[in-house]
Each structure stands twice: as C-alpha cells, then as structure tokens.
A and B are shown apart, each in its own frame.
Chain A
Amino acid sequence: MKIEVTETHGVTLLMLANDRLDAHNSDLVKGRLRDVFESGAKDVVVDLSEVRFIDSSGLGAMVSGFKNAVSHHGRLVLSGLQTQPRSMFDLTRLTRVFDIYENAEAALGSFAGQ
C-alpha cells in the first residue's frame, strides 16, 4: 500500500493509493496514522478516493486514527468515499462518527478558519 502524506496549512493529508483497505494492509495504515499524530499532527484528512473496497479491519484502522486525533485534541476527517466504502460506513453507523467530504479539497477546506 502506497500512502502519500502531504501537509497544507497545518493540515495533514494522507492519500491511500490502493484499491483495497483490508486485513492485509490495515495495520500499516493504522501505524502510519499513529506516527503522523505522534510527530505532532492534530488535523488529518484521510483521502479514500482510490479505495474501492474496505473491510471491517480497514474500518478499524479509521476508528483507531479517529481516536488518535481525539487524544491529540485534533480532528480526523475522511474524503472521497466510493460506493462500497460508503455502504460499509453506513452499515456500521460510522457515518455518525466521521465527517465525510466529497473530495480532499473540501475536507482540507473544512479546517480553514478554525
């Protein structure tokens, strides 16, 4: 799994460049998110626009990141959910937990003026 990390105006964007986020690579993503918060990030966008498929382990990695954000007094938001990922967040009621944006630009913009 390739993960591109960029920072714009203090907001960290993680772009998951893989078509699946499942039990095979979820620990890697979880670890990367933990590293990002431990190295000082507070506000993070995880862009899932390339992820066509997510399983419960992938959801778990997002939940772990969300908890990291809370404990670092920051925010973790998501962007670019395709059909299957969207339905998985719906099914597990995680749409109530995460702020989900259409694309990375909108997600980054949500932090402006905070």
Chain B
Amino acid sequence: MAPSRGSERSTGADMGENSIELDIRVPNQTRYLSLIGRIGEDLARELEKEGGRRETLARHLNTVLTEAMTNAIVHAHDGDPEKTVHISISMADDELCIRVFDQGQGFDLNAVSMPDFDRLEEHGRGIYIIRCLMDTVVYRRLREHNVLEMHKKLRRS
C-alpha cells in the first residue's frame, strides 16, 4: 500500500517511503546528551538495512551525536544554559546525515589535527572519534549559525 502523501508532509523536501527526518531542539545543557544519544540508538534500530551491524550503528550514532552535541554545548556555546542546540538527523535510502547547529564563533575543522597517541592528553579526542565513525565531516560557517555536518553511507545487510 502506498503511503498517503498530503498534509502530513511538513517540509518541502521530497521524502521517500523509507526516509526519516528528525529535527530536535534542546536547551544547551549536557543533561540532554543521554536523551539525544538514545534517540540515535533507537533510530539505528529502525533500519531495515545494516542487518547485524544495526547494534554497532546504534552505538556509533549515540557516540557521534554525543560528541557533536558536546562540542556545541561546551565549546561553541560556552556552556550557556540559556542557549539552544539544534540537531537534525535525516536518513534517506542509503545515507545518514547528522547536522548539529551552533551560534558560536565557529572553528576551523581542518585545523583540528589527529590526537598525538604518544602524549597522554585529557582533551582533543572528540573530533577524531567523529571522523573515525562517519564517512565525511564538514563544518560550515553560515551567516546566522554554524553547522557541523556528518554523513555516513548505509550498507545493505
């Protein structure tokens, strides 16, 4: 049965049968990390593709969302609890895209180097972890906000 197409379509984007788009706004507070991480896990479990890798994907999404959101809360927004973090997660046929928006000064993602594994530092692993778990990671500085945009191709089981 074809899904009904009509008033339920809230965006102008052409959404396919298996597309999911989530747009979430939460206060700029680390207590919401676990909520967003859990949403990522649950979303991965909805996937028909990925098969046995679904649980791995669930852990990866939890990790990536947590790292990206922490980056916005702690670094871009300086922990200001009055601010808001906007996260969008979209899943089309074979591709997952996570965007985390911030209204901070922005930073140069290309200047973030690999961690030095021979030096035991407390910080500096977040972006590295995101890069390991996603296929592409870009940071764009736009006029009204910045966005950390992460893509991952989904595989057939």
Contact = CB atoms under 8 A, between A and B. Distances in A.
Contacts of B25: none
Contacts of A91: 129, 132
**Main secondary structure on A side of the interface with B:** helix
B19 to A, nearest CB: 27
A66 B120 contact: yes
Contacts, number: 67
Q: How large is the interface on B (under 10, 10 to 19, 20 to 34, 35 or more residues)?
A: 20 to 34
B126 to A, nearest CB: 4
Interface of B: 30-31, 33-34, 37, 59, 62-63, 66-67, 70, 73-74, 115, 117, 120-123, 125-126, 128-129, 132
Given A23-B74, A88-B129, A55 B122 contact: no
Contacts of A88: 63, 129
B30 A59 contact: no
A93 interface: yes
Interface of A: 20, 22-24, 53, 55-57, 59-61, 63-64, 66-67, 83-84, 87-88, 91-93, 96-97
